[in-house]
Amino acid sequence: MNDKRQMPSDLAQRLGERRRAHARAQAPSIWRRETFTLPRGEARSKAREWFANYPKAAYMTEIEFWRELADGQIEFTIRRLPSAD
């Protein structure tokens, strides 16, 4: 066992170092995401609009997540690359 007395500040310092190391390891996301909650018809229209404005071939656009809510609305997340350059 460690005979050095542990202080709350020691724990805080270790946790802070771990958090900073984790943040450095995480690469920033290059994806642009937007989440919508719309009635079914409007959700389809919005998805079609995004695919027309940001074609899959150039922007790798896709519906990343979707679900139907209890009130019948559709919640969905679309992701795409920021540009085709």
Sorting pLDDT into bands at 50, 70 and 90, what band is 43?
very high
Cβ-Cβ contacts under 8 Å for 46 (sequence gap 6 or more) = 36, 38
Residues facing 38 on adjacent strands: 74
5, part of any domain: no
20, part of any domain: no
Sorting pLDDT into bands at 50, 70 and 90, what band is 15?
confident
The count of structural domains within the chain is 1
Sorting pLDDT into bands at 50, 70 and 90, what band is 85?
very low
Q: Is the pTM of this model over 0.85?
A: no
The predicted pLDDT at position 84 comes to: 57
State how far the Cα of 52 lies from the Cα of 64, in Å rounded to an integer: 17
24, part of any domain: no
Q: Three-state SS for 48?
A: helix
Residue type, 8: P
44, part of any domain: yes
10, part of any domain: no
Q: Show the domain range for 72.
A: 30-85
- The answer to whether 78 and 61 are in contact (CB under 8 A) is yes
